[in-house]
Amino acid sequence: MDTKTEIMDLAEQLIRSRGYNSFSYKDISSALNIKNAAIHYHFPAKHDLGKAIINRTRLRFAQHISEWKTASPTRQLEQFIATYEGANEKELICFMGSLGPSYKTLPESMQKELTAASFEIRSWIRIILKAGLADGSFSFNENLEEKSDAIITSLLASLIMNRVTGENILASIKSVIFTGLQREAL
């Protein structure tokens, strides 16, 4: 594997386990047995590395939703939640949950990438919910946009709460999400 990819993989792991402002180039250089300056060769400034990682995540997400396209809305949502379960097993939180709280400390280039990512994810969930309503697999009375945001926020924070509580909050949230898509008002 090439050094640049190794740097990005490790940096992503560090960001999602410790946070952007809590890792240094030294953490990466000592783990990969390279020098500090080698990272600067590939990513001149730290924000170049940060930006590249968010951008790669956006591309991965685009690939994922493209692969899932033919599946049912329920199955697509399950696949999406499975990515959170995968993160959970590796004791990582999602990049939005890691970078979002320190949004104000991030350089502008990273803020822009992060905001763009948030709109991509939110619009995809809206599309899935709309499709589920259309084919009858989902049923709910809340506003579609609001419902979508309730789903991503609870998933995002479940990974954070897993850490703090030591319990599997994600499993609870998954259960509540699917129950909430099979309901009618009184």
Partner DNA sequence: TTGCTTACTTACTTACTAGTAAGTATATTT
Partner DNA sequence: AAATATACTTACTAGTAAGTAAGTAAGCAA
Alpha-carbon distance values, 44 to 16, 28, 50, 51, 63 (Å):
21, 14, 11, 12, 28
Among a copy of itself, DNA, none, the one that 104 touches (CB under a kind-dependent 5 to 8 A) is a copy of itself
- 30-89: which residues touch a copy of itself (CB under 8 A)? none
Binding mask 36-55 for DNA (x = CB under 7 A): xxx-xxx-xxxx--------
Alpha-carbon distance values, 58 to 63, 83, 119, 140 (Å):
9, 14, 11, 29
Nearer Cβ to a copy of itself (3/21): 21
The answer to whether the CB of 107 falls within 8 A of the CB of 151 is no
Q: Which of 23, 68, 84, 138 binds DNA (CB under 7 A)?
A: 23
The Cα–Cα gap between 25 and 7 comes to 9
4 binds DNA (CB under 7 A): yes
Q: Which of 3, 5, 30, 105 binds a copy of itself (CB under 8 A)?
A: 105
Q: What are phi and psi of 180, to 5 degrees?
A: -70, -10
Closest approach, Cβ 116 to a copy of itself, in A, equals 10
